[in-house]
Amino acid sequence: MVYILKLAVNDLKNVIRDRMFVFLFFAYPVMLILVSRIIVHLIAPRIGNMFPLAANFSVLFMFFTIAIPMIFSFIVAFLILDERDEHLLTVLRVMPISRNSYLIYRMFFMSLFAFIVLLIFPLLSGLVDGTQFSYLAYIPVAILFALFTPFLALLVASFATNKVQAFAIFKIGGTVFMLPIFAFFLNLGNLKYIFSPIPNFWSLMSLDSVIQNGTLDIVHLGIGFVFHIALIAVLFYIFNKKN
């Protein structure tokens, strides 16, 4: 436990030292909240004749909810790449804390912050209908969205050999993982399941139930948890084999 606390303090120091990390960790979540709470609500009435933005607040909320764990996965992935370049992962083999314990900590430390931001976002965004939205039902969905942080971080850390490749994977991944949004924006009906191989599709299905009905969709939530945990386990194995 003492080592975990020391690692947490060290991680926060590493974040504070890097301007990009500071922006992503502190400023970006605040910016998302300000954009959703103020700017979106200012723009919506002005463009109502061209595009019914107000009628698509729930879709916009989903978009921001996907972006939150992506922010923290970016930080995790680049911290791991820095540590790999400094051969810290090799040194861990002779440290009191095991390599696997360290990697598990590394994966889920930032997930905690993603979860916290995900928890407060519905209250501050102004994009969900408080009469329909169930905050209690949203909590397990927020946990599922937070699991996307270690998934994407491991995906990048496992297949990127340098930071240029990591940026490229994030850029491609950012596009791919936003695709399920179209299932709700275009009202595709059952055709939306063509996006089911994309893990956060199941998170969005669960979130849609909370937004529209105030109920928890156990089936989609359960599939989402199994899918995310299985992918994380596979990527964890790949990362350990390659490093």
Convert the pLDDT of each residue in 164-219 to its tens digit: 999 999 999 889 999 999 888 777 778 889 999 999 999 999 999 999 888 999 99
Please tell me the predicted confidence (pLDDT) of residue 111.
92
Q: Decide which of 140 and 16 is more confident.
A: 140
Hey, how many other C-beta atoms are within 10 angstroms of the C-beta on 211? 26
In terms of residue numbers, what domain contains 42?
2-242
When divided into structural domains, the chain yields a total of 1
Task: Report whether 240 contacts 161 (CB < 8 A).
Answer: no
- Work out the mean pLDDT of the chain and round it to a whole number: 86
Average pLDDT over residues 84-110: 71
Residue the block writes with tokens 């810290």 = 88
pTM as predicted: 0.90
Residues 6 or more apart whose CB falls under 8 angstroms from that of 64 comprise 32, 36, 121, 125, 127
Confidence grade of residue 56 (pLDDT, cut at 50, 70, 90): confident
Q: Decide which of 50 and 104 is more confident.
A: 104
Please tell me the predicted confidence (pLDDT) of residue 190.
81
Convert the pLDDT of each residue in 32-53 to its tens digit: 999 999 889 888 887 766 777 7
Task: Report whether 142 contacts 111 (CB < 8 A).
Answer: no
Average pLDDT over residues 225-243: 91
Closest CA to 214 of 134, 135, 136, 140: 134
Closest CA to 170 of 61, 77, 32: 77
Please tell me the predicted confidence (pLDDT) of residue 97.
65
Average pLDDT over residues 11-31: 80
Please tell me the predicted confidence (pLDDT) of residue 13.
74
Convert the pLDDT of each residue in 131-164 to its tens digit: 788 899 999 999 999 999 999 999 999 999 888 9
